Structure 1
Amino acid sequence: MTSAPPHQSILDKPFVLDLFAGPGGLDVAGHRLGIPSLGLEWDRSACLTRYAAGLDTLHADVSAIRRESFESLPPEINVLAGGPPCQTYSVAGTGTGREALEEVKKFIERLMAGDSDEEIDKELRKLSDPRTALVLEPLRYAIQATRSPNRGHRPYDVIVLEQVPAVEALWVRYAEVLQKVGLPDGTRYEVVVDVLATETYGVPQTRSRAVLIARREGLGTPSLPEPTHRAYEAKEWNRRNGDSAAPVAQPTLCDASVPGPSPAADDDLEHWTSMGDALAEPVGTQHRGRRTPFLVRSNYGSSGIPGRRGVRTDRQPATTVTGRISRFVVFEHLDDDIVYEGARFSMNEAGMLQSFPPDYPWSGTAKAQQVGNAVPPLFGAHLLSAALGLPAPAPEVMREPWIPATEEQRAKLRSHGCGTADDCTARCPRPEDQTPPRSTSRPRRNTASRQ
């Protein structure tokens, strides 16, 4: 089987269903590529951001939609995408998902064998953290599509998934069964899986993601997106510029404006994008630019040593942007000898480090968490482009300021997504619906002294 010709879309009218859509990373990518999408998101604040951004959204539980109202989804959707919640698989999370990897693989086999949803749901409820089971939802949606009368039992043409690196083993298992076993109706896919570094696609941040791209048989063999930028090598940087992971009791900016290594002569890739590159120029209505050299102390890179935190200069890409981005301390210099703590990253700047466009309308509460949980839009655009046979996205297009929705547009989107123009309704999920049970494996800290 041959691949589709380069830069020739394999679908006439791609339409994306974005599961676990968050504040809109993949949808922003689709918007910039001219691809319509519908996002399913259970978090209220993330939905408020999406409405303000003008993104079509259902404020809903992904599992509930599949069980109760799958037939209400637009039948023309032909691309399934999503990044299931990573908290139980991430090294920064609970770890229960990593511990349950082999058990989750068995559920994949049972789903492909056509076991009943009711029986599988009964077994999944035994998992210690219900969020672990959400990594199965893309497969369950793919199966449900073949059972849907509203769709004419038509399978999705393309599947695009991303998660933290620990989930690669599950994506590999997805690939094996999609290629060799097929869905219960017999549909098979050609699949590629790998762990990719976001800075190699121009994102001003080092973030590794396990990705899966699948195409239905007959649509050509998929390939991973080609890197456009060089990988950031921390050891090489530290060897050239000193140990940037040292504690910052007395930070120094002597290396803040030192450029990184130049690409090799036979290397056509661009230099990775630094924080300074992303934030230096004024753009949009909210960002005035950061031209002064700076250092950033993050919650990453502690190496298990209390009090030690990862430190990078403005000439390096950011460390992985998490929900703690608002806690990252930024140091600037007043003159050659004095260093002081400057303004921390605004949410607009934090979003730009994730490659969200300037002026993106972050709304609701827990905005930092929204930023940290999102798919970097530039990375998402590369994934969608590779999956659909489109040319790689132009970085300058992704950096254009975002035009928020008008009040009328926002109200219309919320009426569709929540049921009313200015509030949630009984059909919207409650935050406690997906709150994991308290762990009994660790003693709770005594917090009485803090209250």
Structure 2
Amino acid sequence: MTSTDAASFLDKPYILDLFAGPGGLDVAAKVLGVRALGIEWDKDACDTRYAAGLETLHADVSEVRRERFQKLPADLNVLAGGPPCQTYSVAGNGAGRRALEKVKKLIHQLVDGAGEEEIDERLRELGGDYRTALVLEPLRYAIKALSCPNRNGRPFDVIVLEQVPAVKALWEVYKQALEKGLPREDGTRVRYRAAEVRTLHTEAYGVPQTRRRTILIARLAEYGTPSLPTPTHHVFNLLKPTQGGPERIRIAQPAHGTFAPLRPWVPMGDVLTDRELPFEVVSNYGSGGDPKKRGIRTSKQPSFTVTGKVSRNAIRRHPDGPALTPDRLTIAEAGILQTFPPDYPWDGNDQSQQVGNAVPPLFGMHVLAAALGMPLSPEDKLRENWGRLDRSDGTYRKLRIDGCESPISCGHDCPKPEERSSSRPSHPRTGGSPKRQAR
């Protein structure tokens, strides 16, 4: 796929994607015709990004802000990011949720002009899981842009953030901070206008899985208040599993013809076309916390949320069909449920974790289009062949030189495996297991 200049209220949108993962948001940007540069800590995710032809900086987000911000392209004008969610997620360790009020205060202190060293000291005082602090990085980047010499004080025009629902309270404080205005060194403020912070269902945008993400979209005040993306599909209701689906769809007609009727949510069977129907997927997680009561979704329903443990979900023949030995989702199938192209070039290790942590590209396309005020590209573009760059290809080698300073390996400034320590201020989006960290 090739990128072209997009029709947006910005002349040439250029996204800086923090915690970029294997490329979900950047794939969405490329399909929209928008350029994006992703910063990603995890080497495995970077391997996938290079193979996919995505602009990448293999680096620690916090280190780039502190030491190399001035080396970033000066024409980056859209800031996006989904900080690691493990400490805020209900499935995580809860450190972020316990520190929520303190992190809120730090947001206000940043906007009131607290210096970087002062904020770092207060973050150290928080203790606990270092990933909790990473939710502040997008705000710190937005403030840093105002004093960066090579930007001549130019702010980011648009800010787009996504996270698990547990972070909604923080995004609300972010919204207040952005609307109050970010501080310049001369005492003036750069003000933004933000859409209502809301938790969106990805299946309401055509993604064949139930996944919820809380979204913040903000623009410089001069561009007006942005809107959240308009749903295109029904939301899946587990208690009424046929409601809003393709078999029992009951779509209310639009009043006065002002909007298009919602389409049915997309079942797994519609996208996993190489699977013989019917089938069912047995979750790796127990319902209600009971591991003996694992959830089940059929091929006539959307998938469970695709997580880093997706390869543990068993696929078996539905009781209405012939007997079949239990199987597992392939990485390509998990990617398809995330709306990546069928041949997306997953690379490196921990591919299940890469897939599970990614933003679904189709959902990202809706969010970016709303943020940038531009039309959506056809969904079919995400089902076209993407292709894999060969390691000997000139484009691949250039991407690696730009991202790792070497055409074949990591360079001096790339994060090192031994740096994966809880004492560090930054960490990969994926938050790998101790066994993986020791690799």
Give me the whole-angstrom Cα distance separating, in 2, the residues matched to 1:209 and 1:118.
31
Matches of 1:336 and 1:140, distance apart in 2: 55
Are the counterparts in 1 of residues 362 and 379 from structure 2 also a CA contact under 8 Å? yes
In structure 2, what is the equivalent of residue 147 of structure 1?
Answer: 147
Contact 2:32 2:376 in 1 (8 A): no
Q: Hey, what's the Cα distance between the residues in 1 that align with 2:74 and 2:110?
A: 23
Match of 1:86, SS?
Answer: coil
Partner AA of 2:228 in structure 1: L
SS of 1:69's equivalent? Answer: helix
Tell me how many residue pairs correspond in the alignment: 405
Match of 1:43 in 2: 42
Please state if 1:392 is matched with 2:385.
no
Paired residue for 1:298?
Answer: 283
Q: Which position in structure 2 is the counterpart of 1:379?
A: 363
Counterpart-to-counterpart distance in 1, 2:7 and 2:39: 28
Task: After superposition, give the CA deviation of every residue in 1:92-120 in whole Å (9 maximum; x if it has no partner).
Answer: 11110011110000110111111110111
In 1, the alpha carbon distance for the partners of 2:141 and 2:342 equals: 33
**2:218 corresponding residue in structure 1:** 214
Asked if the contact 1:19/1:62 (under 8 Å) is kept, the reply is: yes
Note the residue ranges of structure 2 that are not aligned, 5 or more in a row: 1-5, 255-260, 424-439
Change (3 A) 1:96 1:416: same
Establish whether residue 271 from structure 1 lines up as the match of residue 271 from structure 2.
no
Q: Which residue of 1 aligns with 2:428?
A: none
Amino acid at match of 2:278: P
Q: Which string of whole-angstrom CA distances, capped at 9 and with x for unpartnered residues, describes residues 285-321 of structure 1?
A: xxxx123210000124511223111100001100110
Matches within 5 A, 1:221-370: 221-237=225-241, 260-266=247-253, 268-280=261-273, 289-300=274-285, 302-332=287-317, 338-370=322-354
Equivalent AA in structure 2 for residue 368 of structure 1: S
Report the 3-state secondary structure (helix = DSSP H, G, I; strand = E; otherwise coil) of the residue aligned with 1:299: strand
Q: Who is 1:63 aligned against? A: 62
Q: Output the aligned Cα RMSD.
A: 1.9
2:332 alignment partner AA: N
Give CA-to-partner distance per residue, 1:191-227, whole Å, 9 cap, x none: 1211100000000110000110000011121000000
Of 72-81 and 390-399, more deviation after overlay is shown by: 390-399
Match of 1:203 among 198, 204, 207: 207
| Letter of the 1:139 counterpart | L
Aligned-pair CA distance for 1:436: 2.6
Equivalent in 411, 416, 436 of residue 430 of structure 1: 416
* 1:60-92 alpha-carbon deviations (Å, 9 max, x no partner): 000000000100000000000010001111111
In structure 2, what is the Cα distance between the partners aligned to 1:433 and 1:108? Answer: 27
Contact preservation (8 Å) 1:79, 1:159: yes
Q: Counterpart of 1:419?
A: 405
- Larger displacement relative to structure 2 (342-351 or 9-18): 342-351
Per-residue CA deviation, residues 99-147 of structure 1 (Å, 9 max, x unaligned), is 1110000110111111110111122123211110000000000000001
Offset at residue 261 of structure 1 (A)? 2.6
**Cα distance 1:73–1:173, how it changes in 2: closer, same or farther (>3 A)?**
same
Paired residues of 1:230 and 1:263 also in contact (CA < 8 A): no
Cα deviations by residue, 1:369-401 (Å, 9 ceiling, x for unpaired): 000000111011101000011113321112212
Deviation of the 1:332 alpha carbon: 1.6
Number of the residue aligned with 2:138: 138
Q: Which moved more, 1:301-310 or 1:186-195?
A: 301-310
Structure 1, unaligned runs of 5 or more: 1-6, 241-257, 281-288, 438-451
| Identity score, percent | 55
| Secondary structure of the structure 2 residue equivalent to 1:436 | coil
Superposition TM-score, scaled by structure 1 size: 0.86
The 4+ residue runs of structure 1 with deviation greater than 4 A are 335-338
Q: Which amino acid aligns with 1:264?
A: I
Letter of the 1:298 partner, please give it: S
Amino acid at match of 1:186: R
Q: Does the 8 A contact of 1:160 with 1:214 survive in 2?
A: yes
Aligned residue type for 1:105: K
How many angstroms apart in 2 are the aligned matches of 1:260 and 1:200? 17
In structure 2, the partner of 1:162 is 162
SS class of match (1:303):
helix
Q: Give the AA of the match of 2:296.
A: V
- Report what 1:410 is aligned to: 396
Q: Is the 8 A contact 2:84 2:135 kept in 1?
A: yes
Give the superposition deviation at 1:430. 2.1
Q: How far, CA to CA, are the matches of 1:165 and 1:180 in structure 2?
A: 24
Offset of residue 180 of structure 1 = 2.5
2:223 alignment partner, SS class: coil
Q: Which amino acid aligns with 1:71?
A: Q
Q: 1:183 to 1:266 in 2, by over 3 A?
A: farther
Could you tell me which residue of structure 1 aligns to residue 173 of structure 2? 173
Which residue identity is paired with 2:235? Answer: A
* Distance (whole Å) between structure 2 residues aligned to residue 8 and residue 53 of structure 1: 24
Alpha-carbon contact 2:40-2:61 (below 8 Å) kept? yes
Change (3 A) 1:172 1:8: same
